[in-house]
Amino acid sequence: MSKLTRGRLLAGAAPLVAAPIIGKLALDANAAERQLQGHVDNHRSLGHAAMVGENAPAVGGPNDLDALLYPPPPLPHEPGRLREYTLRAIDKDIEIAPGVFFPAWTYNGTIPGPVIRATEDDILRVRFVNQGSHPHTIHFHGIHPTNMDGVFEIVPSGGELTYEFPATPDGLQLYHCHSTPLKKHIHKGLYGAFIIDPKEPRPPAQELVMVMNGYDTDADGGNNFYTVNGRSFYYAKYPIVVKRSQLVRVYLVNLTEFDLINSFHLHADFFRYQPTGTGANWEYTDTVMQCQGQRGVLEIDFAHTGLHMFHAHQSEFTELGWMGFFNVVP
């Protein structure tokens, strides 16, 4: 892979984002696909140089990131229930943009790692197997015994450790490696979302997980690509289909290294935002900012059908891959 500087990427991305970026929906939803094609045809009729479908600068197929986008379903409160997961540290080259491979350290082969979900008062048991080439850990945000904190219990290459603790408090948490140098282990991809559902269930919704991150591909301490769920422009190529009549809930987590903040901005609508996904404090806005490790829950009741763009409100991040669309259908 040739070295890619931040400036060269911005120069190359500018003509891509100057025109509307509209992905052709490759899902089994005929109505959504017809609506999306109507938008595409409209832009063509107006003479816009719209980038459509397979021309969008993203890699992979339409369902590649489904396991990261759609969390496991919540379970009702049942104190003492055992929830078991296995996470494996794996070194893997990941194609984050067309022809651009990142030498990643991953949990289970993906950036971000799998979504872990439990209900408050469940017993969470996570078997960690280190198949990577470096010592690693798992540090879970939340409340747990200090010998389960993933700081001192370093797992060498070829080793394993089982973490076990009650899931608490309810809300949106996260997990990541805490080996040193910490910035490298996080930047290389060892992180993921961790949902602890409250005892009283949230209202039914179409639920989505979005983990914001960046990639430094030339080792200069600055990111060259920005994404949600690991691939640049992926949700521009494959818009996320949601229903206007259904509550949409987004679990948003920021694990971007090398930048002080990242952000989420929604076009053409507002959302309710609950920091950390717990408590009674809700904002009503269309833009939120998060530093690394911050997270929150967004709840959206879309007022209109059609394509709603979402992206970082740092324009540079948008031009380097962190943008996409909701395709809101009747």
What mean pLDDT is reported for the chain? 88
Half-sphere exposure of residue 222: CA atoms within 13 angstroms, side-chain side:
10
SS (H, E, C) 144-198: CCHHHCCCCCCECCCCEEEEEEECCCCEEEEEECCCCCHHHHHHCCCEEEEEEEC
CA distance 327 to 196: 28
- Does residue 100 have a pLDDT over 80? yes
CATH topology for 6-67+203-329?
A: Immunoglobulin-like (2.60.40)
Give the DSSP H/E element, type plus range, for residue 40: helix 30-45
- Under the banding of pLDDT at 50, 70 and 90, the label for residue 55 is confident
The pLDDT assigned to 123 comes to 98
Query: What SS3 state is found at 288?
Result: strand
Q: What is the pLDDT of residues 32-49, one digit of tens each?
A: 555 455 544 544 443 343
Q: What is the pLDDT of residues 279-322, one digit of tens each?
A: 889 999 999 999 999 999 999 999 999 999 999 999 999 999 99
The pLDDT assigned to 20 comes to 36
Q: Which of 50-64, 134-148, 212-226 shows the lowest mean pLDDT across its residues? A: 50-64
Q: Select the more confidently predicted residue: 206 or 55.
A: 206
The pLDDT assigned to 56 comes to 79
The residues that bridge with 213 in the sheet, in sequence order, are 227
- Does residue 274 have a pLDDT over 50? yes
Contacts 24+ apart (CB under 8 A), 202-205: 202/74, 202/249, 203/247, 204/247, 205/246, 205/247, 205/248, 205/249, 205/299
- Under the banding of pLDDT at 50, 70 and 90, the label for residue 10 is low
The arrangement of secondary structure in 72-197, i.e. its CATH architecture, is Sandwich (2.60)
Please list the residue range(s) of the chain that carry CATH number 2.60.40.420: 6-67+203-329, 72-197
Q: What is the pLDDT of residues 134-168, one digit of tens each?
A: 999 999 999 999 999 999 999 999 999 999 999 99
CA distance 220 to 88: 28
